[in-house]
Amino acid sequence: MRHISIIFKRELAAYFNNPLAYVLIIIFSVLSMGLTFVIGKFLDLNDASLTNFFLFHPWIYMIFGPAIGMRLWSEEHRMGTTELLLTMPISPWEAIVGKFLAACVVLAAALLSTIPIVVTVYILGSPDGQMIFSGYLGSFLIGAATIAITCAISALTRSQISCLLISVFICFLLVLAGFPSVADFLRPTAPWLADLGNAISLWWHQSEMARGLVRLQSLAYLTTLIAFCLYLTSVIIRSKRA
């Protein structure tokens, strides 16, 4: 625990000592709220609900998650500090978890920056508080999953740009897999594939939670995905040294 918190503090400082984290948070905030107002026709719908707002999140995370996570190990490999970190008397998983948690704080800060839209729906009407909570929970878990995926990819390469591109591609597939048009296309020919697509799709889980449906299946899938990616990171780090 002590080691995790030491790594966590360093990584957090590295994020916030640098304009990148602030820029990303602002972009997230503007995009998620802007898309909701402009494309989601938030005000015209006259519906005190944030469902549309949350449905934009997976698409934003597709790039936002990799942008936050790409430096986690790539930067370490590029500077050569992996050699320093892994010869300290700590376990690699402590470093992995510490770094992941720091990235999750950036994610949480980005979500916090969207408070104005919550205030707006409360002014417009009387929204379902539980639905807002489940939307935020889903959003956080999906964001964390994109960060965890990026974390594993970043352990593979010293180039942040390669990490970004590969991770965006993987996240894109994971979002798209359960998108209605894809599911509708698959269902007539291979219904099982459509179901599988839904089950692994970040978009599908988010669409459920945005409507207030927090399923055990969603929570289990997302936490397992995160845990698996962090485990994969440790395997990659170990095998890179062999």
Partner 1 sequence: MTNRQSRPSFQLARMIEIHHLSKHFGPKVAVDNLSLTVQKGQVLGFLGPNGAGKSTTMRMITGYLPPSAGSITIGGVDMLDNPNTAKAKIGYLPESAPLYADMTVAGFLSFAAELRGLSGAAKKAAVEKAITTCFLEKVRSQSIDTLSKGYRHRTCLAQAIIHDPEVLILDEPTDGLDPNQKDVVRNLIKEMGKTKAIIFSTHILEEVEACCTRAVIIDQGKVVADGTPDELKRRALRAGSVHVKITGPGAASLAGDLARLGHAGRIEDPVTADDSFQGTVYPKAKTATGALTTEIYDLCRNRNLTLSELHEEPGRLDDMFRELTSQNQV
Residue 165 engages partner 1 in binding (rule: CB under 8 A):
no
Looking at 89-97, 99-107, 200-208, 217-225, which segment touches partner 1 (CB under 8 A)? Answer: 89-97
Residue 19 engages partner 1 in binding (rule: CB under 8 A):
no
Residue 3 engages partner 1 in binding (rule: CB under 8 A):
yes
Euclidean distance between the first and final Cα of the chain, in Å? Answer: 27
Q: Which of 90, 101, 200, 219 binds partner 1 (CB under 8 A)?
A: 90
Give CA separation, 46 vs 43, 67, 232, in Å. Answer: 6, 34, 45
Kindly state the greatest CA–CA separation across the chain: 60
Q: Report the nearest approach of partner 1 to the CB of residue 227 (Å).
A: 23
Residue 26 engages partner 1 in binding (rule: CB under 8 A):
no
How far is Cα 145 from Cα 139, in angstroms, rounded to an integer? 10
Residue 211 engages partner 1 in binding (rule: CB under 8 A):
no
Looking at 6-14, 38-46, 47-55, 106-114, which segment touches partner 1 (CB under 8 A)? Answer: 6-14
Question: What is the DSSP annotation of 190-210?
Answer: -HHHHHHHHHH-HHHHHHHHH
Residue 235 engages partner 1 in binding (rule: CB under 8 A):
no
Q: Which of 30, 84, 161, 220 binds partner 1 (CB under 8 A)?
A: 84
Residue 23 engages partner 1 in binding (rule: CB under 8 A):
no
Q: Which of 22, 39, 91, 112 binds partner 1 (CB under 8 A)?
A: 91
**CA-based R_g, the chain, Å:** 19
Number of other residues whose CB lies within 10 A of the CB of residue 44: 8
What is the SS3 string spanning 166-192? HHHHHHHHHHHCCCHHHHHHHCCCCHH
Residue 87 engages partner 1 in binding (rule: CB under 8 A):
yes
In the bound state with partner 1, the residue whose beta carbon lies nearer, of 3 and 187, is 3
- Is 167:70 a contact under the CB 8 Å cutoff? yes
Query: Which stretches of the chain bind partner 1, using CB under 8 A?
Result: 3, 6, 10, 13-14, 17-18, 79-84, 86-91, 238, 241-242
